[in-house]
Amino acid sequence: MAHVFVAPHPDDVALSCGGLIASLRELGQNVTILTVFSGSGAAGGAGGNGNGSNGNGLTSYQREALGFGTKALWPATEAFNRADIRADYPGGPADAEWAADDDRLEATQSDADASAKRFWQRASWYRRASIRNKSLAGQAVMDDVSTQGAIYTDDVVDAASAGEIVAARRVEDERFAYFAEASVVFLDLADAVFRGYEGDDQLLGPVREDDEAPISILRREIARLEPSYVYLPLGVGNHVDHQLCREAGVSLLAEPRSWVMPGPEWAGRVVFYEDFPYAYWNEFQSLDALPAGALDGIPAGIELTPRYADIADQLERKVRGIAMYESQIDRLFGGVKPMGDAVRKRAQSVGTVGRVGAPAERYWHSFVP
C-alpha cells in the first residue's frame, strides 16, 4: 500500500494528518509527502529559494504569513544529519559531554558480543557485533552511507542558517519526514505571498482568475508515485493555496479513465482531509460548511463520505511531529503547550462526532454509490 499526502505548504500534512501517517507507517505502509508551494518564485538559491526568500527582502506581511516574525530563531545546524553524531568515536575534548568514553564503549561492546554469540551459536558459528564506527569484513559503515537519515544539501542548510525563510521551512519539513519515516517531494512552486496576494483578505479570499491550479504537475507527480490513496486538503479556512490543491483533487475525480496506457480509476483513491487548525478554529463538522461551489467540479455519480481514523495510540506522536515546525508554532498557537491542547481537543471532538470512542482524524473518501 502506498499513500501520497499533498501538502500545500510545509507543516500542513503534519498538522492535519500526522496521526494517520503514524498509524500507516506502524503497519508498514509507504507514505510520501508531496509539498507543493515550498518556493519563493525567485531564481537561484536552494530549491528555487533565491534572494527573494531572505528575511531582509520580505515585506512585513510576507514574513508574518510565512510564520516568521521578530521572534524567529534561525537554525544553525541540521539537527538530524548523522554526520553530527559522534557518540561512536572515542571521547575527546571536541566531543559533546554525553559522548561515550572508551570504558563505557568497551562495556557495551562486551554486552553486544555476548548477545551476538548467543544468537549466532544457533547457526553453529559465531559472528562478532561491533558497536563502533569501524568496518568489519569490508562492510560499509552505516554512518558513512549517505542514504541514512535525513540528508540536507549544503546549500539548503546554509540558506536556512542565513535566515532564508523558505529554506528554513523546507528543513523543518525534511525533519518531520525523517521523524515520520516518510519520503518527501518538494515541487517548489511559489507560495501565495510571492504571487501577489497581500493581506489576509486576499490570502483567505477567492483565487485570482490568473492564478491557475497546478493540476498538470500534481497529476504527473501523483501518478508517478502510483498511490493506493492520495490525500488532498478540503480547503477549510479558504487559504488560496489550499483551494488550488483541492481543485487539483476535484480535477482528478473528473478525469475519464485513460485507455491508452490506462491510468487509475481516481474515484475511490482520492481522499480529502480537514485542514487543521482551520477546522479547529471554525469547528468544522460537515461539507456544508465549505464555501458555496467548493466541490462543484466533482462529477455526478461520485460522492464523498466521512471515515474516521482512530489515532489514540498516535496522538502524542502527532503533537511531537507538529512541534518540529518551530517557525509556525507561536504564530498559529502561541506556543507548544497551546498547540498540543488544540490538537487533543480537536481529535477528541472528531472522535465523539464519529462515535469512535477515541481521539480521531476525519477523512472524506470519494466513492461511487
The SS3 assignment for 203 reads helix
Average pLDDT over every residue of 102-125 = 68
Across 238-242, 256-260, 268-272, 304-308, least confident range: 256-260
Residue 230 has pLDDT above 70, yes or no: yes
Residue 213 has pLDDT above 70, yes or no: yes
Helices (H) and strands (E) in the chain, counts: 12, 7
Across 112-116, 119-123, 213-217, 256-260, least confident range: 119-123
Residue 333 has pLDDT above 90, yes or no: yes
Give the residue, 225 or 356, on which the prediction is more confident: 356
Average pLDDT over every residue of 169-176 = 89
What pLDDT, on the 0 to 100 scale, is given for residue 272?
Answer: 98
Average pLDDT over every residue of 199-228 = 91
What pLDDT, on the 0 to 100 scale, is given for residue 347?
Answer: 98
- pLDDT tens digits, 269-281: 999 999 999 999 9
Tell me the average pLDDT of the chain. 79
What pLDDT, on the 0 to 100 scale, is given for residue 68?
Answer: 43
At residue 326, what is the residue type? E
Q: How confident is the model at residue 62 (pLDDT cuts 50, 70, 90)?
A: low
Q: Is 335 left (phi over 0), alpha (psi -120 to 50) or beta?
A: left
Q: How confident is the model at residue 69 (pLDDT cuts 50, 70, 90)?
A: very low
What is the distance between the alpha carbons of residues 276 and 321, in angstroms, rounded to a whole number?
14
Give percent above pLDDT 70 in the chain: 68
What pLDDT, on the 0 to 100 scale, is given for residue 121?
Answer: 60
Average pLDDT over every residue of 309-319 = 96
At residue 284, what is the residue type? F
Residue 48 has pLDDT above 80, yes or no: no
What pLDDT, on the 0 to 100 scale, is given for residue 84?
Answer: 41
Average pLDDT over every residue of 268-293 = 95
Q: Where are the alpha helices (DSSP H) in the chain?
A: 12-26, 60-65, 102-120, 154-161, 165-180, 199-203, 215-225, 240-254, 278-281, 315-322, 326-333, 336-353
Average pLDDT over every residue of 80-96 = 43
What is the distance between the alpha carbons of residues 18 and 340, in angstroms, rounded to a whole number?
13
Q: How confident is the model at residue 198 (pLDDT cuts 50, 70, 90)?
A: confident
Across 21-25, 57-61, 311-315, least confident range: 57-61
Q: Kindly state the cell numbers that stand for 18.
A: 500526522
**Strand order across the beta sheet in which 183-186 lies:** 183-186, 30-35, 2-7, 229-233, 270-273, 360-367, 303-310
What pLDDT, on the 0 to 100 scale, is given for residue 342?
Answer: 96
What pLDDT, on the 0 to 100 scale, is given for residue 136?
Answer: 58
Average pLDDT over every residue of 23-39 = 92
Average pLDDT over every residue of 109-120 = 71
What pLDDT, on the 0 to 100 scale, is given for residue 88?
Answer: 41
Q: Can you give the pTM of this predicted structure? A: 0.71
Q: Which of 19-28, 146-155, 158-167 has the highest mean pLDDT?
A: 19-28
What pLDDT, on the 0 to 100 scale, is given for residue 75?
Answer: 33
